[in-house]
Each structure stands twice: as structure tokens, then as C-alpha cells.
Structure 1
Amino acid sequence: MGSPFDLANDAAYRAWRDEKLANFPKSAAELIVEVGNIGAVTAAERAAIVELNARANMAIYRCRSHCDDPATVRQRLRAFAGIFGLRHLEAHRSMDEEGLVALEVVREGGRHGFIPYTDKPIRWHTDGYYNPPEAPIRAMLLHCVRPAAEGGENGLFDPEIAYIRLRDRDPALVKALMHPGAMAIPEHVEPDGSTRPRATGPVFSVDPVTDRLLMRFTERKRNIDWRDGDETTAAVAALRDILQSDDPLLFRYRLGAGEGVICNNVLHDRTGFVDDHRPGRTRLYFRARYIDRIEVRSAAAA
């Protein structure tokens, strides 16, 4: 039938859209999968997480044991991700020997001042939005070791639903965001003196590796260059309007200790939070970004 992301193929789009909306979870609670131990995931637990990612590009796992100790989590998260086909990590300057990045409030050092390491709100984005289109982040894992004392809630929104909302409003909005020059992140000098080159590309694209939809987007106001033209301006405004709406398929969830999100790089934000500054009580998350997409295959093959 052809690609549902071909703007000239309305029949393929309508068939895909109807199936997607019919099968999509109706609440964040439907995304939750109870996992006994991330170090020993059962076939049924794996199948449930895979099935949710097939439907919604995300799942929330909730551990019942051995998921709130940082040392234990560090040892097991990478193997846990590998069960779902996530094996090729993005090389990130802040990653540890396990390929994880610790997200916590940092008062000094190389991470100081970057918003993921503060208690400030973070606007809607996909991870790796500053990467060039040829180096996308296809999946990510976010694990909560310790939540904040107050706040720190995440919004979660499937990029395929964002695509549907925009295309149903006007296909021209999607066309503008699929332009290869739609969004550019200017050159940036890293703390170590290296330079991250300017990255220009579309917001929506079709992945040549998987034929699935890719999205790179940030709602940031500074250090971003949008393509000139009324079409792009209208499309970005429409997307922001959707993200600020009460769309029933836009979920909000505050991860508790031992919970995490494993997803195909969905749109997400974070509210500001208040930390508990006592030793061992501060907010701590681990994050891993992957070049791979979550594999949708039978649990028996795991």
C-alpha cells in the first residue's frame, strides 16, 4: 500500500492512522508493566514492554526489587536495554563506563549550567535534537533511582500521534516540517574546547534504516534557527499548540523510585522540582540513548 508518511498517499495514511488510534493506550496507567527484576526479565514482561512500544513507542516499567540501588542499577540497565535490541549507545561526554548518564543537580564542573543537571523545567523535546539527521537517536531509557522531594513530572507524547494531529489539521504543516532545512541548531563549543558543528535537518523524516517515523524537535527559544517562511512558522506554532493542549493521548507521569521509561525517543518534557538536599536523598535518574530502535519480535526469540 505504500508508506503512511507519504503525503501523496492518503489511503495508506488513513489505514495506518485508524489502526494506530484504535490500539493506542488511553492513559499513562496503561503504559505500566510490572517487572520483578531488571536483571532477570521474564518472557511475559519483555513481551508486554515490546507490545506497548509497538502500539505507543513507549512503556513504563515498575521494578519490584533491586531497582533502587544505584550500583545495582548501573550494572543491570545496559543488559536490560539489550533485551530489547538496544545495544549501540550514543557517545556522550557525560556517560559512565556502563554508558549511562547520571541526571542530577550539579553545582560545579563540566555539567554545571546545562539544564538537565538543574532543577529547572525542561521544555518539550526529543533527545539528540542537536544531532545531524544522519546520526539520530532512535531510542532512550530513563530510570529513576530517587525522585525529587516535589515535582519533576514528565510529559510523554508519541511523535506518531503528533504527526497525526498535524496532518489531520493540514498536510501542509507536516510538509513544512519535513523540509530538509526546517530546523537548525547552531555550532556549539563544548567545555573541552571541541566544536559541535551546526546541525540542519527536518523535524519529521522517514528513517532509511527502519522506514519508521523519526522526529527531532526542541521547544527551546534560544540557539535554534527555524527556516524562514510563513509555512514553517505556522507549522511550529501548530505543533507547540498541540503540545500545550489537553490532548487525551498526551500523558503526564511522575516516575517513582525503581520506575523507568523505555521508548523510541518520544517527545517529553519535565516540570521543575524541589530537591531533598540530605545525602543520599537528592534526585537521581540514569539515562541512556541508543542509535537502535526497540526490536519488535517474539518473546520466544529473546
Structure 2
Amino acid sequence: MKHWNTRYPKRYDLDSDGDYLKWRDEKLAAYPRNISELVVELGDMTAITNTEKAKIFETVELANMCIFSAGSAELSMNSLLDLGKQLGVADTDKSSRHSKSDELTDSGILNRAIPFTTRHVRWHTDATYYGSDKTIQALFLLCKRPAVEGGSNKVLDNEILYILLRDKDPEALKVLMNKDCFKYKNPNTGEISEQLGGKVFWTNMDGHLCHRFSFRKMDMAWSEDNDVIAARDVLESLILDESEYVIEGRLESGLGLISNNVQHTREKLVDSDDAAKKRLLFRARFYDRVNPQA
């Protein structure tokens, strides 16, 4: 374990470079560069061993995510929630959403929302529309049935994005960490919620970096402040450049993702015409994060 949060507590302090530069160099040197380096094989995701748990935490510390195999466990939402509990995350947003929104599939119920369709999904973190006081910090996925074709994901650790932005334009980062940058806009009514939205980067009470962003403009009302607009443009350019730190892969049946709500995309997919064979992924979102140093 690197214990970065303990060793470099001021790494996100924009007025001090000491901790940041040391952490930056270590983080970039240790960061995984391909999907195989993120994989942790589990015998049973509902009953992980201490060794498996330690490996998950080690990988998450390096990249804020890992890929896992379910092992002998049933591929279900309950199994995904059980895994979360074993890793110290249990505070889900399940009760506040449609009962079927935990299942990423062509159900015909939620198909106006892009994740439930076969369309390409651009770079985003989940649930940008939550308020700053209680945001989604962890995202778990479990694949039961993949698409017939396509549907691969690209992922990028938010801490890597922070480093890229701080090195390129620290003033833009300062704006995104200190100003209310956007509000939630209801995509159906256009109504703007003053309570939902806020900063793009910030640190939580434990000193860990939080981040939210999406290219989806229909439910985000960005501030018209000139500094915010300029900072957003810099961030979008960095994301679209898809640096060497972007990792790509596809979740097959029995594979899943543990993440601290990292930036991700999904490529366009081709689904089965047979309802019993359509793509099905279970999704769990948590208000708490996977914290290897808890």
C-alpha cells in the first residue's frame, strides 16, 4: 500500500506544491496502463478472502478502480451489494431511483436515458445531478450478459485527470475547485435546481478527491461566468485528448467494475433481438467511497 492520503495530506492544496509533486510522481509511476493490471480474480464475490480484499484495495489505491471476477457467486444485484458491504460501502442511492434503474438493459422502461440504450455514451461520471453535500462517490458494475457486439468502456482515474489539469492550467483547476460551476437542469421540463450541482473537483472530509463531470448538456446548466466557461473548455479538451492513461476494455459475463466513480465512456453496441439474451449489467451507486486506508 502507498498510503498517499496519510503521507501527502496536502497533495490537493493548490497553494502548496510540496506534497503534490511527490505524490504526482509516485502516482504516475504506479498507475496501471492496461486492463490486465486492473483485474482481481475472486473465488466468490459474496465471500472474499482477506488476500482478495487486500488486492482490491491495493489496485483501487493505484487507480481508483479495479476489475473483478465474480467467481462462483450468483450474478445478481444482491451479490454486487454484498461485495460493497465487504469493502466498506453500503450507503446506496437505490431508494431514490426507479426500481429498474439498477439494471442496465433494454427494458423498454428507461430507454430515454442513454445508458439503457445501444447508443454511444460520452465521457462522464455517474449522477452529476446530485448536490455537493451528498454525491455519488463509488460506482460498481456486474455483467451478467454482454452485448452481442460493442459496448466496450474507456475509463480514466479522476486523480489522473486532476494531475493533467493541474500541470496544464492550475488556474482553470482553481476555478473548478472553488466556484459553483453548474446546476442540475431537468431534461424534460428545463427547470433548473439551485440545490443540485456545484463544483467539479473538491475534497471530502477524509481528504480524498471527488469529481463530477459530463458532456451531457441537456441536464447540466453551466454557469455563464467567463472563468468557469474557460476552465470547462480546458477540462473538456484534456478529456477528449484521451491521454496515455485512458484504459479500455469490455465487461464480459461474470466480470465487474469497482470504482470511486471514475470518468468513463461506453461505445455503441449491438444487442440481441431475444429478450432473454439482451445485455444486462447490474449497477450499484454509493454515497461513500472505497477507501483502502480506512
Whether TM-score is above 0.5 comes out as yes
Alpha-carbon distance between aligned partners in 2 of 1:132 and 1:34, rounded to the nearest angstrom: 35
Q: Report the AA paired with residue 243 of structure 1.
A: I
Residue matched to 2:208: 212
Q: Is the aligned partner of 1:8 residue 2:15?
A: yes
Compared with structure 1, are the counterparts of its residues 2 and 78 closer, same or farther at alpha carbon in structure 2 (3 Å cutoff)?
closer
Given the alignment of the two structures, is residue 40 of structure 1 paired with residue 47 of structure 2, yes or no?
Answer: yes
In structure 1, what is the equivalent of residue 178 of structure 2? 179
Counterparts of residues 1-302 of structure 1 (less than 5 Å): 2-68=9-75, 73-90=76-93, 91-95=95-99, 101-107=102-108, 109=109, 111-187=110-186, 197-198=193-194, 199-207=196-204, 209-297=205-293
CA contact (8 A) 2:70 2:254 kept: yes
Distance 2:245 2:131 in 1: 29
Contact 1:67–1:257 (8 Å) recurs in 2? no
Shift of residue 2 of structure 1?
5.0
Per the alignment, do residues 284 and 196 of structure 1 end up closer, same or farther by CA in structure 2, a change over 3 Å counting? farther
- Identical-residue share of aligned pairs (%): 34
SS of the residue 1:197 aligns to: strand
Q: Cα distance, 1:188 vs. partner? A: 6.0
What displacement does 1:59 show? 0.3
Cα RMSD for the two superposed structures:
2.1
Report how far residue 235 of structure 1 moved.
2.1
Is the helix fraction higher in 1 or 2? 2
Aligned 8 A contact 1:132 1:200 in 2: yes
Structure 1 consecutive aligned stretches of length 4 or more whose deviation exceeds 6 Å: none
User: Judging changes above 3 Å, is the alpha-carbon distance between structure 1 residues 133 and 44 closer, same or farther for their aligned structure 2 residues?
Assistant: same
Q: How far apart are 1:106 and its partner, in Å?
A: 2.8
Deviations 1:199-242 (A, max 9, x none): 231100111x2211110111113232222244322322222222
Task: For 2:257, give the aligned amino acid.
Answer: V
Shift of 1:297: 4.7
What is the CA-CA distance between 1:132 and the residue it aligns to? Answer: 0.9
State whether residues 2 and 9 of structure 1, in contact with CA within 8 Å, keep that contact through their aligned partners in structure 2. Answer: no
Contact residue 142 and residue 283 of structure 2 kept, 8 A: yes
2:5 paired residue number: none
Q: What is the DSSP-based 3-state SS (H/G/I as helix, E as strand, rest coil) of the residue aligned with 1:178?
A: helix
In the TM superposition, what is the alpha-carbon distance from 1:275 to its structure 2 partner? 0.2
Distance 1:297 1:10, change over 3 A: closer
TM-fit CA distance, 1:186: 2.0
Whichever residue aligns with residue 69 of structure 2, its letter is R
1:116 Cα offset (Å): 1.7
Q: Distance in 1 between matches of 2:226 and 2:187?
A: 27
- Residue 30 of structure 1, CA deviation: 0.3
**Contact 1:150–1:273 at 8 Å: present in 2 too?**
yes
AA at the equivalent of 2:175:
A
